Amino acid sequence: MKTNIYKLLKGTFLVSDDSFKNWRFILFISALAIIMIASSHSADKKVYEIARLKNEVSEMRSAFIDGRSRLMKLKMESNVMGVMLEKGIAPSVIPPKKIKVKSQK
C-alpha cells in the first residue's frame, strides 16, 4: 500500500512501459473536465441573461402601467374640459338634438 502511494506520487505510472493506456485515460478525463467547465460557464451566462431580461420586463411593465394611468387622467372629462376652457372652448348649454332621417322610398 505504501509503495503504491509512493509510485503514484513519484509518477512512475506515466513513464512505465504500459503508460500509453494511462495517458489516454488522463487525456480523456481532462477533456471531460474541460467540457464540464465550458457547460457550466454556458449555463451561468444563460442564468444571467434570464435575470437581465426579467428585470427589463418588470421595468417595461411598470412604464406601461405608469403611461396607462397618465392616459386615464388625461381622458377624464374634467381634465378635457379644463384644457378646452384654456383654449376658449366651453361646453354647449343647448342639449343635442336627434336627427331623424326618413327613407326616400
Residue 69: give the domain boundaries: 2-86
pLDDT the model gives residue 25: 87
DSSP codes of every residue in 10-63? HTGGGTSTTHHHHHHHHHHHHHHHHHHHHHHHHHHHHHHHHHHHHHHHHHHHHH
Low-confidence ranges of the chain (pLDDT < 70): none
Under 8 Å between Cβ of 62 and 54: no
The reply to whether 101 falls in a domain is no
pLDDT the model gives residue 53: 98
Gap between the Cα atoms of 48 and 45, Å rounded: 5
pLDDT the model gives residue 26: 87
> How many domains, the chain?
1
pTM: 0.57
pLDDT the model gives residue 14: 74
The reply to whether 92 falls in a domain is no
The reply to whether 33 falls in a domain is yes
The reply to whether 104 falls in a domain is no
pLDDT the model gives residue 2: 80
